[in-house]
Chain A
């Protein structure tokens, strides 16, 4: 299965800009489906970015992050060709990870 994570990391003048889009329902646990049954909460809790074995950015999310979450940030100290590892874990214990090359 294709990875749930889509990432674009570009480096310019020592600053690496990372844009990430993850496919995830991000259910709040408050919404009911067509049959009137509550859809249980299902959301990403932690999203980590590691570059060269070092954490560069960590997101802790609650249910209020929109479905198919998007996040953009920048960091220093990486160069073109470096690996950026992205991993997430949700409240059901599911996780996914991918590695992207910084362009």
Chain B
């Protein structure tokens, strides 16, 4: 389940890394084996992980850096955790993927979107949130990972409980 590579990268690892780089033309990839999940197939493993950081690694094989070029739009207080409108727009170039993570949900990864050529890097959707949590948007642009986070308070029970 974990994506940790051994302390000494084996030759196979290095080769896999090289293949991945060649395939998708990205930069340095410290977690080459996990990277396959970030592409065409449904990333089953990443969706099962509970921890946000682990899920990000399983999906992208990289660690994101915060960016102010991502605008994450989510309510400060969500009255109904079952339907929380969340949207992302970004001014970053060459965006290939945008994903949403809800840290306190049973499984952190909520949704992951791929943008083939020509798509405009923005997406709006509605997520479920189990409780008050931070919502993180991860944007993959030009082979690098960027993130933006916002806290959303969920009022359980609706009428002030």
Residue of B nearest to A65 (CB): B111
Residue of B nearest to A75 (CB): B119
B69 at the A/B interface (Cβ < 8 Å)?
no
Residues in B neighbouring A69, C-beta threshold 8 A: 125-126
Of the residues B82, B111, B119, contact of A67 by C-beta under 8 Å: B82
Q: Given A57-B114, A62-B107, A65-B110, decide whether A46 and B119 contact each other with a Cβ distance below 8 A.
A: no
Residues in A neighbouring B123, C-beta threshold 8 A: 71-73
Please state if B83 and A45 are interface contacts (CB–CB under 8 Å): no
A97 at the A/B interface (Cβ < 8 Å)?
no
Of the residues A54, A55, A66, contact of B84 by C-beta under 8 Å: A66
Please state if A66 and B83 are interface contacts (CB–CB under 8 Å): yes
Of the residues B102, B126, B129, contact of A70 by C-beta under 8 Å: B126
Residue of B nearest to A64 (CB): B110
Residue of A nearest to B40 (CB): A58
Of the residues B84, B119, B125, contact of A71 by C-beta under 8 Å: B125
Please state if B107 and A73 are interface contacts (CB–CB under 8 Å): no
What is the bound-complex CA distance between A57 and B116, given in angstroms? 6
What is the bound-complex CA distance between A56 and B82, given in angstroms? 28
Indicate with 1 or 0, residue by residue over B96-132, a CB within 8 angstroms of chain A CB atoms: 0000001001110111111111111011111111000
Shortest Cβ distance from residue B86 to the other chain A in the assembled complex, whole angstroms: 10
Indicate with 1 or 0, residue by residue over A70-83, a CB within 8 angstroms of chain B CB atoms: 11111111000000
13 A-B residue contacts at CB 8 Å?
A28-B128, A56-B119, A57-B116, A59-B112, A59-B113, A60-B114, A62-B111, A64-B127, A65-B128, A71-B124, A72-B123, A72-B124, A73-B122
Chain A interface (Cβ within 8 Å of chain B)? Answer: 15, 26, 28, 30, 45-46, 54-67, 69-77
